[in-house]
Amino acid sequence: MLRSLRTRLVLAYFAAIFVAIILAGSFVLLRMQQNLEAEKASSLLMSANIAADEASGIFHPSERSMLRQVSRDMTTGVGARVLYLDRSGRVLADGFGEMQDRVIADEVAQRALAGDSTTRMLPRHQGALMYAAVPVFSSESIIGATFVSANVDSVYEEILHTRRLLIYGAGTGAIAAAIVAYVLTSNLTAPLRNLARAAHRLAAGRWDRSFRAPQSSDEVGDLGRAFEHLVRSLEHEDRIRRMFVDNASHEIRSPLASLRALTQGLLEDPDADPSLRREFLEGIDHEIDRLDQLADGLTMLSASQTLRAGFIRRPTSIAQIVRDAINRVHKRFPESANVPIHIHDDARWPVEPEWLGTAIENLLQNAIKHVTREDGRIEVRIDSTGNGMRVTVEDNGPGVPPAHRARVFERFYRVDKARERQSGGSGIGLSIVEQVVKAHGGEVSVDDSTLLGGARFTIVLPP
């Protein structure tokens, strides 16, 4: 039962209210007891002073009977026991008539005989009594003391009664708070239960499109909206994953189908003309190269998606990264050496050089595939400011139509599918570019080249 968040919240409310009322009530009770004791002490001192004034003229052995009568009268009048003591502390008169000639050694009496008016209270387990004593003067000399005692059990009774009321009130208030909390927490726990059910369905592989985040602006609403965003993101990623698997399977089947056709042709005609056999073997080699490029591309794409982990940047010459990328392109595509690639300007920028070089290499390969060998031209420009660094790769090819620009960085997306496959493209090079640039915290975009008339790819990296 205590596993329920609602139950724990209700119990927490109950305990908090109960403890708060008890603590506050205890403070009030303490102050109340102090005030009652002070009032009783003040009243008893006043009675002692009145009794002292009444007896100040008859503190003499010859007036002892009168002193006793005054003692009895004062006991009745003030509602407290009145005793008159001589200088030695011996009782001259007792309002109850029980302690004549006894010596009172109490501290209160001794202090009164020394000239101080004082009180003392005994706790309940010692009788619940309060003592008050004042000196009796005659011609400014102390001739004795008035000792008054009263039962203060009524004070303790009042405090106990108030304490019982406090406990009952604390319990009632805490129960009321728990009931209110039980009602109010339903607004908190209901969305959480819905969220838990949706999470279980998500864990079971069922996309819960019926889940709607609470409209509240509190933390529960924030949690619900974050979960709703997570579900949409996971669903999007799952859709991309399925598309990726489908596209990868298609890309693999295409060269496999060509390989099957070529090998079957060789098997069916083992005595074919040597030139035809060479053509078939060259075709097989080309399709194997396509598969090899696809495997490399898939491996690189997978690695590029986790670049942020262990990503180490260091200031590097961007122009040198471009030159190294050009050399790799020329080695892989010897015929591309006829296409001039010009580099303008340079900048030292904190980057991961190997991965940025891979991204620029892919942009260069993409440009080379779309320009003619006779008059092809590629320009690479490097610009840096305090706000960032920009690398643009422009060509004089056919460019990217506006309708395709939003999807050109998707995996396996091709603007011209026939031409891309003919040139050996896998359709994932630009996806790798986007992943690398995002890992650097930058952006990549494509538009028309105003300089060469073809496509212009722009990488922007932050400081």
CA distance 427 to 294: 9
Give 414 or 448, the one with higher predicted confidence.
448
Asked if the model's pLDDT at residue 139 lies above 50, the reply is: yes
Give 169 or 114, the one with higher predicted confidence.
114
Would you state the pLDDT for residue 122?
82
Question: In which element (H, E) is residue 235 found?
Answer: helix 219-268
- Most distant pair of Cα atoms in the chain: their distance: 164
Q: Return mean pLDDT, the chain.
A: 80
Q: In degrees rounded to 5, what are phi and psi of residue 349?
A: -140, 145
Going 75 to 78 to 84 to 89, the CA torsion angle's sign is positive
DSSP 28-97: HHHHHHHHHHHHHHHHHHHHHHHHHHHHTT--SGGGHHHHHHHHHHHHHHHTSEEEEE-TTSBEEEETTS
Flag whether 432 is in a domain. Answer: yes
Flag whether 298 is in a domain. Answer: no
Flag whether 265 is in a domain. Answer: no
Number of domain units in the chain? 2
Asked if the model's pLDDT at residue 443 lies above 70, the reply is: yes
Question: In which element (H, E) is residue 144 found?
Answer: strand 141-151
> pLDDT band at 418, cuts 50/70/90?
very low
CA distance 384 to 329: 25
- Please report, for the chain, how many H helices and E strands are present, in that order: 11, 12
Q: What is the pTM of this model?
A: 0.49
Beta-sheet pairing, 388-395 with 455-461: antiparallel
What mean pLDDT do residues 52-66 have? Answer: 80
Flag whether 83 is in a domain. Answer: yes
Would you state the pLDDT for residue 300?
60
Q: Which two tokens stand for residue 49?
A: 């002073």
How crowded is residue 90: how many other Cβ atoms within 10 Å of its Cβ? 15
Half-sphere exposure of 292 (CA within 13 A, CB side): 7
Asked if the model's pLDDT at residue 215 lies above 70, the reply is: no
Give 102 or 154, the one with higher predicted confidence.
102
CA distance 266 to 247: 29
Looking at residue 139, the DSSP 8-state letter turns out to be T
DSSP 103-124: B---HHHHHHHTT--EEEE--G
> pLDDT band at 303, cuts 50/70/90?
low
Ranking 132-146, 283-297, 337-351 by mean pLDDT, the lowest is 283-297
Q: Which two tokens stand for residue 47?
A: 């009675």
Asked if the model's pLDDT at residue 394 lies above 90, the reply is: yes
| CATH number of the domain that residue 391 is part of | 3.30.565.10
211 neighbors 27 (Cβ within 8 angstroms) = no
Strands (DSSP E) contained in 246-334 are 314-317
Q: Position of tokens 């609403």? A: 221
Ranking 24-28, 56-60, 74-78 by mean pLDDT, the lowest is 56-60
Half-sphere exposure of 419 (CA within 13 A, CB side): 11
- % pLDDT > 70, the chain: 81
Decide which of 130, 157, 184 is a domain's last residue: 157
What mean pLDDT do residues 124-134 have? Answer: 81
Structural domain that includes position 420: 306-461
How crowded is residue 235: how many other Cβ atoms within 10 Å of its Cβ? 14
Ranking 91-100, 300-309, 315-324, 406-415 by mean pLDDT, the lowest is 300-309
Helix-helix angle 353-369:429-439, to 10 degrees: 150
| CATH number of the domain that residue 106 is part of | 3.30.450.20
> pLDDT band at 421, cuts 50/70/90?
very low
> pLDDT band at 364, cuts 50/70/90?
very high
Query: What is the per-residue pLDDT across 166-183, written as a single tens digit (0 to 9) for each?
Result: 888 878 877 887 787 777
Flag whether 167 is in a domain. Answer: no
Flag whether 225 is in a domain. Answer: no
CA distance 437 to 362: 12
What mean pLDDT do residues 355-376 have? Answer: 86
Asked if the model's pLDDT at residue 380 lies above 90, the reply is: yes
Would you state the pLDDT for residue 263?
81
CA distance 123 to 152: 9
> pLDDT band at 445, cuts 50/70/90?
very high
What mean pLDDT do residues 49-78 have? Answer: 84
Flag whether 179 is in a domain. Answer: no
Ranking 3-17, 32-46, 53-67, 414-428 by mean pLDDT, the lowest is 414-428
Beta-sheet pairing, 141-151 with 314-317: unpaired
Asked if the model's pLDDT at residue 423 lies above 60, the reply is: no
Q: Which two tokens stand for residue 212?
A: 């709607």
Give 276 or 462, the one with higher predicted confidence.
462
What mean pLDDT do residues 78-101 have? Answer: 88
Would you state the pLDDT for residue 297?
60
Would you state the pLDDT for residue 420?
47
What mean pLDDT do residues 40-69 have? Answer: 85
- What length does the chain have? 463
Flag whether 442 is in a domain. Answer: yes
Decide which of 157, 182, 211 is a domain's last residue: 157
Beta-sheet pairing, 81-85 with 129-138: unpaired
Decide which of 128, 157, 186 is a domain's last residue: 157
